[in-house]
Chain A
Amino acid sequence: MNLTLKIWRQKDASSAGAIETYQVQDISPDMSFLEMLDTLNEQLNEAGQDPVAFDSDCREGICGTCALMINGQAHGPEVTTTCQLHMRSFSDGDTITIEPWRADPFPVLKDLVVDRSAFDRIIQSGGFISANTGSAPEANSVPAPRDKAMRAFNAATCIGCGACVAACPNGSASLFLGAKITHLGELPQGQPERDSRVVAMVGQHDHEGFGGCTNIGECTAACPKEIPMDVISQLNKDLRTAMKHGL
């Protein structure tokens, strides 16, 4: 298939950027979206032009690196990551607009690459449990009820890709935050730091400049891991509880 690509090009973090138009030919429907971009880059390299910078790592849907806004949808039209999106989701002759995640806490570094270290700092501020080092503890010494374990496990599938922020009209990271709060807060190991965790992580979220949630639900729809909105309710409930405890 032949496609017209409109891609955001930006030299570096301090330069202004613009949309540039490219043509690619003979794209196989079985290619992944990133392979299609690789094809474009080979073409640009041969022509002696600067290839389009974009992020990717695992290319199997587990690392969350491949952040692209495709035709106005985070990770494109399917519920999956960009690396797992295939060209069969598009048709011959399509025009595809590709932009970086747009959120001020995720500044563009070059072309389609954004700096998502804001998420790392949110995790660093409280997204952990404290455990003694030394020999590994007995696996089943702390029993976790099955429903709580399942909810924690589902929340833990969040790969930190940032699609929720990219899709949110408020630029809020509440779905990501809620996933982490629910993941750790549902398990016995997460209890000692439960109050301080939510306060520190929400404080870091706000400090980074993410917006507040208005529960409109674009985040869940964009999430490649289908994290449900009830994690945001859990986040709010945990913060309210911490407030009651005077934190």
Chain B
Amino acid sequence: MNDRIAPDQLAPAPRAEERKPAPAPVATRGYIGASIPRANAKRLLEGRGCYTDDIQLPRLAHVVFFRSPHAHARIKRLDLQPARAQPGVIAVFDGRAIAEYCTPWVAVLGHLKGIKSPPQHAVAIERVCWQGEAVAAIVAETRAQGEDALAHVEAEWEELPAVTDMEDALSGRYVIHPDLGDNICFKRELVTENFDAAFAQADLVVEETFGFGRHTGVTLEGRSILADYNAAEHSLTVYHATQAPHMMQDIFSRHLDIPEASVRVICKDVGGSYGIKVHVYPDEMATAAISVMLRRPVKFVADRLESFLTDIHAREHKAKIRLACTKDGRILGFDLDDLTAIGPYSVYPRTSGIEGNQVVNLTGGPYRHKAYRAKMHVVFTNKNVTCQYRAVGHPIAVALTEGIVDLAAAKLGIDPAEFRRRNIIPDDAYPYTFPSGIKFEKLSHEQCLDKLLEAMDYRALRAEQARLRATGVYRGIGLAAMIEVTNPSPAFYGVGGARISAQDGATVRLEPTGMVTCLASVTEQGQGTDAIFVQICATAVGVSVDKVRVMTGDTGVTPYGGGTWASRGAGIGGEAVLQAGKALKSNILDVAAAMLGVDKATLDVRDNAIVDGATGEAKLPLAEVGRVGYFRPDTLPMKFQAELSVTRHYTPREYGFTFTNGIQASLVEVDTDTGFVKLLKHWCVEDCGTVINPILVDEQIRGGIVQGLGAAMLEECVYSPEGQLLNGSLADYLVPMSGDVPDIEVAHVCTPTKQSELGAKGVGEAGTAGAPGAVMNAINDALAPLGARVTDQPFTPERILRALGRI
């Protein structure tokens, strides 16, 4: 091709963006609220990022796993020697060998009363409990040689009964872990005092059972870990695609018996996580143990089949919900009975009880009823484990609530938007305690509803829908109001005994040249953490964004913290950066005041310089403060020490969680001949408090919505009754591609939290939380004139045709 140019023919032209001046700060709030492109995206755009699998080290060996072909079986015989003899194979290990270096774990938490789970080993010993569980590890010089050797492992099995159905599991007909007595991992019941009375006095009680397909995160980058043990130091460096480096540091330390300070977890670029990469995975623990055993670096990267078989799944639920209301459309109460299956083990260390717990906490979320009863069972099955995936429990709670709300509205002949308006918690009712016990600081359901209806032009859409129906076109409009847990306090994990940090920290340092380095404990997974920290830090210190560098994801470098999960990066990590930046500014002014011999109160830092606070007159460039502070402190007053590096931490304390709220709407068209649903348009109005970077927030919402659309329309990990995963590839397990999704309109209401100075709440999960409920309601709205209704996700063409009685 003649338009190819070899690099050496090129004069290195300066790039357009390098010549542009740094973006200007916004008037009063600095860079808070500015859509500044992420500086760290540039390397990814050139293919010059560094994901864990991109790292090569001298003597690097590769680990592959021999995995169980059965859902439940006893290992009768395992002969690894034929595999050991294959070319390039360095070592082979069974579960017992690994267990000598890696202790087992039990995933329970004190605040989930009664939760139980058996000890789990990194590699199975004697018995396997799901198809895909690791049974042996083969270490080879290349991944290909390891995979070749897998074919030479000899195993004999005694198959055991596989429990794959949730109700079957609950019945206890066959108990998977006999020591535990039954298949119930966790259960919770809750009832408000007025419950019976509310349901007795209701004019209308509606009831429906909803089903949710088990699905998974499908991070494009498979789980990846490179563990590098240094025998001389008894130290371990782990390059890990993880959301929570400090949590993993603690876990590697305790289970491999290496002092915590000798374990360093480094998280480079991560190719998507969405909650998938915040858990302890047995094969990753085994990889770390093998590095210790072999005294050399070893790498494991899950391929796509392994991802489907062993990345946590989520959201296999069946739930019956009832709603009681008056005939004028006032909701009196909700009644929930939820059953969920989590595979054979509760996942360490966060447990697999949280998702169901969230469903109980959040069902009925946006509404002002007073009566609530909930019953929830979490049961073991012989499928892959499930745990916390983006929006944990929310998509279920929202779909249940919004589905039953629509049913009630339809029964009463009230427009669904009007029905919601009558029942949402008014904007002036806060602080507000919800029947499930959770507390809301301040939400904005009324404003969000108004804004949504206006954005979508609800009336016009309804009119168009009616017109089209007359011509045999079945369009539907669905609404889903929601609340979302963000900025979790220690109430989420810490109180239950989990060694998971609820606080986060930031160190901010003035460099001698006047640049600022920020080290933060929240991690970057593509959501834009680094970018917003640049903006917050630049604003707090008084420098331009091009002067700030952010480093995250290295336990050897950053302050201690929780990392990325539960929509906490901006609200918790951001506040720590803000406070550290402000403290640094104060310290900079101390130095400047000493240099200038003036009162500190008369000075300020603006635009990379020390200025007179009143007149704005430039006094000193920041680089001069850096020069004197570091190289000529002898010129400063005796006994004055410049402190040009500051660390601050932040923990939300006043509320267990800082709730956000929002509402979504979906417009669909159902082809009643084929069962195909065309998603025509989607809207979301969200209140995440202070918006630090609007474009990043909107893109978090859009990406989240599309994951929710995938759950609603396409995604399900399908298992046979024997516990065999039937669709473990991207050709069989469908995720949304660009042709499957509509354009999405996003708008905001802004109610900053008063708990922090920054006022930011989380936003990473809202999209995923609300989208399935909105789409379900839209489909059912489209099908209503045909007397059909769907309640089991995903809403495949087959399910829609069944509902229509066509098949």
Are the chains A and B members of one assembly?
no
